[in-house]
Amino acid sequence: MITQIEQAIVTRLSEGLNTRKGGMVRNVTTYGGELEDIGQILRVLPGIWVTFKGVTSCRPQNTTQRRWRVTGEFAVFVASRSVRSETAQREGGPVPDEPGCNLIAESVRRLLTGQDVGLPIACLRPGRVTNLFRKAYKDSAVSVYVCEFSTHWYEDALDNGRWPAPEDATDPDYIFAEYCGRLDKPWPAHDTTAGTFTTPSGATLDSIVTTEKDE
């Protein structure tokens, strides 16, 4: 789910801000340490990087503790540059050459707040926007903001003592088969339910209900 959320955020921002010529940003991708060397990314600024910050809480949703509500946080790094001034890289300049970090951050929040990005998660909730750093680099002024978002989703735990038991390649647990992990056999299909009922007169009735199968 974490990777799916990251990729879905990247896709929505790429489409909403247009990474092609004339768009607000040149680059939207997942974060891989690029901001540690600003000199290497000047040519792709203004740009956006998306990363998973971590799981902040897990709460059981039933008494068996087999289903959990998981809350996670994501960060969107917004970086912009200006060859004119530090103020221009924050506030922007001529359209479309210098959108500025302020405008890009506001646009990111506008596109993501309240969106489930097509996944079975709670709509993204906006958090803090902080200034990571501002610095001069050669003939440019560079600024980086961090926009935080949170959401939650549900995860089902394995039964105690059980191992993953994927039925086919569409099962999320099939990854354990691909990596040769220990597996269990899937539970057998539930075909019938048997029960004994007592009537008000004291008579007992045995009943067997057959599970209907999809055609």
pLDDT tens digits, the chain, 215 residues: what are they?
Answer: 999 999 999 999 999 998 887 789 999 999 998 888 877 778 888 999 999 999 999 999 988 889 999 999 999 999 987 644 444 444 444 455 567 889 999 999 999 999 999 999 999 999 999 998 777 666 677 889 999 999 999 999 999 999 999 989 999 999 999 999 999 988 776 666 677 777 777 777 777 766 665 55
In a domain, residue 197? The reply is: no
Cβ atoms of 59 and 157 closer than 8 Å: no
Q: DSSP alpha helices (H): ranges in the chain?
A: 2-17, 86-91, 100-112, 174-178
Domain holding 10, by residue range, is 2-156
In a domain, residue 190? The reply is: no
In a domain, residue 162? The reply is: no
Helix 100-112 and helix 2-17, axial crossing angle in degrees, nearest 10: 120
- What's the count of helices (H) and strands (E) in the chain, helices before strands? 4, 7
In a domain, residue 45? The reply is: yes
Look at the chain and report how many structural domains it folds into: 1
- Both tokens assigned to 29: 């991708």
Kindly report the pTM of this predicted structure: 0.79
Q: Which domain CATH number covers 80?
A: 3.30.2000.10
Please state the length of the chain. 215
In a domain, residue 26? The reply is: yes
